[in-house]
Structure 1
Amino acid sequence: MAHVSSPPGSQVRQERWHEADQLDGADDLHEEEAIEVRETLIDAEAHGQRLDRVLVSLVPEFSRTWLQQLVAQGAVQLDGQSVCQPSRKLKAGQRLRVELRPTPQSQAFRPEAIALSVVYEDEHLLVIDKPAGLVVHPAAGHWSGTLLNALLAHHAGASALPRAGIVHRLDKDTSGLLVVGKTQEAVTALTRAIAARNVHREYLALVHGEIRQPQALSTIDAPIGRDPRSRVRMAVVPSGRSARTDVALVAVAAGCSAVRCTLHTGRTHQIRVHLACRGFPLVGDSLYGGHEALGLRRQALHAWRLRLEHPVEARPLAFEAPLPADFAAAWHAVVDGPRTGPPAGLQ
């Protein structure tokens, strides 16, 4: 249990621009969801040009990539017939019609009825035990089903706050504790507390390799920035932002080590990068050299403890999140201790 201690191009002549009638049930949708339709008659200048190029001129405010997706969805017609090839060559005299359906990005910041495991809540803040697999903030590939969407449904004030009150993040496959502000006052105070390193965040992790010299890992102080060889990875680079992680060894067994990590900074992928750079990637973390082991099919990282001062009432708060079942089983395989209660070797 947790506890409290640009205009169109000349080759296309745009003729009509209107909004389609609302569909049945649209009373439940936002007004901006009405589908806009644009039509034009292909002229001699556009004759022989690719469909996607002409669409860019007709709808300059949309990216070519999204317009190509509209084509694939059947939202583009020539002379009343859907066309599904962006490379289709057009002929003078054809009538082109496109339905401007909302992009996923435009629909990202919407409330969704997603269950939250609430550890603590008052009028100022919310502490959540995030499950592995839940994305915190909408991004490419995850424009819905995120924690932000859940927060927008959880309380009305979230819509007026930047990022719905989210002040720090956990990776998609990291489980555990995360604090969210419910008012602007709380968001501001929490953001400042995190920047001042006054929020204590402790993680449990399982890594590949048996750590035999824990003193060499006790403090990893190495700057982190974007990996120059891969935009999806972070790395220890001289030009990166300062990052410090304290690492304490808990147990060693089965070719793996169980460790407790304390963050002093909160850089993207910090624990994953710091441990990997020392030759001990997280179990299940394929991005940084890990692989499935101990029955875990996701990265072995759990935000276990959280301590902070209440952002408005200035009283101390402390929380612990129980280990999720998959992590608990893997942890038990390395640490000889009970499956329930505080993790073995941790006080």
Structure 2
Amino acid sequence: MLEKLTMTIDGQKGRIDKVITEEFGDFSRSQIQAWLKEQLVSVNGEIVKPNYKVKDDDLIEINRPEPVELTIEGEDIPLEIVYEDQDVVVVNKPQGMVVHPSAGHANGTMVNALLHHVKDLSSINDVVRPGIVHRIDKDTSGLLMVAKNDEAHEKLSAQLKNKTVTRRYIALVHGEIPHDKGTIDAPVGRSKENRQSQAVIEGGKDAVTHFKVLERYEGYTLIECQLETGRTHQIRVHMKYIDYPLAGDPLYGPRKTLPGQGQFLHAKVLGFTHPTTEEEMYFEADLPENFTETLESLTLLTK
């Protein structure tokens, strides 16, 4: 079975393998090149080579092979379930836990834990991501909603698309932000310099982050961020873009400036409409211990 993906060139330039990789960030360039060699990619109905240079209005069609089905086993991993009913689970993910299995993370993920503790999960995503409606990075802690059936999954996904889900994060950033609040409206896409990271780029996907200052320390600022969109690494990319990168961020900020296992970023608030009852749901998760300890030490240093 093949799944068809399509895109129309509108201003993008360069080799087709590069352009497709930037458009569909879940696929590596080597994977796209393999599909081109297997003649699974066409432009305006014609098979092309990997070095084909795209032109405006080209219609690209990709006959993506369905992923090989994997068996993901439940694992008895501690998991903080904040809320659960027949449709939805809300989880407080710890820092350091990957959300779902992927290359290099075959087990020990939140999905492995969910399969042990929850059992029933939606099947809209492939078997590697059952129930996963949205994600946060491995080293970001905090709240995630998980769907237990396909109907709930579709309704929750629609809320994300329509920007009606409330997501507020607490972040510690380098530098002392002089103004009390702000909005970053800058498109995000895969970095042209480092394929493992994202960046603010021309032609990227719309991304909007609102922030307000909660506390200032010597050399650092504690902020609350509210997302309008949910692009990969959005808060981390946006704060680097305005020269206040997240503390502890190994990819976008100065390394090893504070003790910790990664960026100081916590998904504190999650709000959504229940997919069945239509009740307004609202959850908060306290900052993890290492985050609060770091803030206490910065308070002492600042006084």
Q: TM-score, normalised by structure 1?
A: 0.63
Question: Residue 183 of structure 1 aligns to which amino acid in structure 2?
Answer: N
Structure 1 residues 275, 296: closer, same or farther in 2, change over 3 A?
same
Aligned residues: 231
| Structure 1 residues 253-268: aligned runs within 5 Å | 253-268=217-232
State whether structure 2 residue 136 is matched by structure 1 residue 173. no
Q: Match of 2:98, SS?
A: coil
Q: Is contact 1:128–1:178 with CA below 8 Å preserved after alignment?
A: yes
Q: Is contact 2:122–2:153 with CA below 8 Å preserved after alignment?
A: no
Moved more, 148-157 or 311-320: 148-157
Q: Which residue of 2 aligns with 1:231?
A: 195
Distance 1:242 1:333 in 2: 37
Q: Deviations over 1:248-275 (max 9, x none)?
A: 0111112111000000000000000000
| Structure 1 residues 152-171: aligned runs within 5 Å | 152-158=115-121, 160-162=123-125, 163-171=129-137
Choose from 161, 165, 184 the match for 2:150. 184
Q: Deviations over 1:173-212 (max 9, x none)?
A: 0001000000111101000001101100000000111111
Structure 1 residues 200, 335: closer, same or farther in 2, change over 3 A?
farther
Q: Which residue of 1 aligns with 2:110?
A: 147
Q: Which residue of 2 aligns with 1:306?
A: 270
Q: Match of 1:212, SS?
A: coil
Structure 1 residues 316, 280: closer, same or farther in 2, change over 3 A?
same
Structure 1 residues 242, 159: closer, same or farther in 2, change over 3 A?
closer
Distance 1:222 1:117 in 2: 34
Displacement of 1:246 in angstroms is: 0.2
Q: Which residue of 2 aligns with 1:4?
A: none
State whether structure 2 residue 206 is matched by structure 1 residue 242. yes
Question: Residue 228 of structure 2 aligns to which amino acid in structure 1?
Answer: H
Q: Is contact 2:187–2:207 with CA below 8 Å preserved after alignment?
A: yes
Q: Is contact 2:122–2:148 with CA below 8 Å preserved after alignment?
A: no
What is the percentage of aligned positions where both structures have the same residue?
Answer: 44
Displacement of 1:141 in angstroms is: 1.0
Distance 1:109 1:241 in 2: 32
Choose from 166, 172, 176 the match for 1:210. 176
State whether structure 2 residue 164 is matched by structure 1 residue 201. no
Q: Deviations over 1:213-259 (max 9, x none)?
A: 345xx100000000011111000001110000001011111211100
Q: Match of 2:121, SS?
A: helix
Distance 1:230 1:185 in 2: 38
Q: Which residue of 2 aligns with 1:330?
A: 294
Of the two, which has the highest radius of gyration?
A: 1
Displacement of 1:297 in angstroms is: 3.4
Displacement of 1:139 in angstroms is: 1.5
Q: Deviations over 1:132-168 (max 9, x none)?
A: 0100011121111111122222233227452211100
Q: Match of 2:277, SS?
A: coil
Question: Residue 273 of structure 2 aligns to which amino acid in structure 1?
Answer: E
Choose from 90, 99, 102 the match for 1:127. 90
Distance 1:293 1:192 in 2: 39
Distance 1:133 1:239 in 2: 32
Displacement of 1:292 in angstroms is: 2.6
Q: Match of 2:292, SS?
A: helix
Cα RMSD of the aligned pairs, angstroms, is 1.8
Distance 2:151 2:229 in 1: 22
Q: TM-score, normalised by structure 2?
A: 0.72
